[in-house]
Amino acid sequence: MKILIVSLDNVGDTLISLAVYRALRAQPGVETAFWTKEYSRDIIPLAGDGIEHHHCDPFWDRSPGKAKGGLYKYLKTLLAIRGSGYDAAIILHANWRKNLSCLLAGIPRRYALKGAFATDYIKPGEGDTHILDSSRKLVEAALGKDPGELRYPVAPAGFGETPRTATLFSSGTWAVIHPFSGNPRRNLPLDTWTSVLQFLESRNLRVLVNASPAEKEIFNGVSEPGAGRVFSCDLDLDIRNLAFAVSRAALFIGNNSGPLHLASALGTPCLGIFQKSWIKKISPRGKFLPELAVFENDPSEISALEIMAKADKLLSHGPAPL
């Protein structure tokens, strides 16, 4: 049986989809491949080498900081998928466009939670509010048996490094922070990050700030540069290089976004800024559960003192295992 995992979403959701791959790969006689956005394509090699992988940005969707995908690349990808002869598709975060795309790609069985053009609609069980719980039901329907709890740890073989990052992160003790995300309403105020940075640097930690060039300019507008501070955009880090950096870190702090899930998957002690209503839906379930700083309506509810206290706990004791 050949199953295509469809995750036409951004980095965090694609990282979570590795749990589906891990569950399917454990089954004898099951071949597994991915269809992702071009934007999140670098996540898949973190699960291992040689994974069959189709990627294009859908023409109907816009990734953060990117233009919408092109129709030509989309149609070319559909033809490639059709030629691969998949028996089934597990469509994560399903909608009618994704489902129809799998139909046009000639996939006869299409497992989804919602949207027109699927063949098998799966209803999550009572209390299955997390994306991994509903994904487990999709896998169960495709396999005809329960795969068990889904998790998405990333193995060290999936890390990437360059000579520059290998040298940099072998010197000193590092923290990685991710002050931005694709949704500004999830983000801790930048003036709070200034206090957090001062705390980390007072603990003799060098700090990698994961930010684009535009985000770096915004960040430096409210924070005085630190001697041991480095920005990921200046190192030109891709996802695999970032994974290497996060794997070497003593601590990761970030908003609810893909890099937080990456830190959890790698087993790095991590602290996430999370809205309470989202915890049951999409809180990280990698190698370790993160510590969470929780707000009800606005991230400004979280004080720098709370972040520092939770960070100090992780630096002293490490994360709680799942």
The reported pTM is 0.89
Alpha carbon distances (Å) from 295 to 92, 183, 187, 255, 316: 27, 15, 11, 12, 24
Strands 320-321, 288-289: pairing is antiparallel
d(CA 160, CA 169) in angstroms, rounded, equals: 13
- Residue 152 has φ and ψ, to the nearest 5°, of -135, 60
pLDDT digits (tens, 9 = 90+) for 140-186: 999 999 999 999 988 765 677 778 788 888 888 999 999 999 888 99
Locate 102 and state its tokens. 């799998």
Domains of the chain: which residue ranges? 2-143, 160-321
CATH of 2-143 given 3.40.50.620, 3.40.50.2300, 3.40.640.10, 3.40.50.2000:
3.40.50.2000
d(CA 2, CA 41) in angstroms, rounded, equals: 20
Strand partners, 321: 288
Decide: residue 20, CB within 10 A, 0-12 exposed, 13-18 middle, 19+ buried.
buried
Residue 227 is predicted with a pLDDT of: 67
Which amino acid would we find at residue 2? K
CATH of 160-321 given 3.30.470.30, 3.40.50.720, 3.40.50.2000, 1.10.3470.10:
3.40.50.2000
The yes-or-no answer to whether 2-143 and 160-321 have a common fold is yes
pLDDT digits (tens, 9 = 90+) for 10-46: 899 999 999 999 999 999 999 999 999 999 999 998 8
- The percentage of the chain sitting over the pLDDT mark of 70, rounded to a whole number, equals 96
Alpha carbon distances (Å) from 248 to 24, 106, 233: 29, 43, 18
Q: Where are the alpha helices (DSSP H) in 69-211?
A: 71-84, 96-104, 131-143, 163-168, 190-202
- The percentage of the chain sitting over the pLDDT mark of 90, rounded to a whole number, equals 72
pLDDT digits (tens, 9 = 90+) for 209-250: 999 999 999 998 887 766 678 999 999 888 888 998 999 899
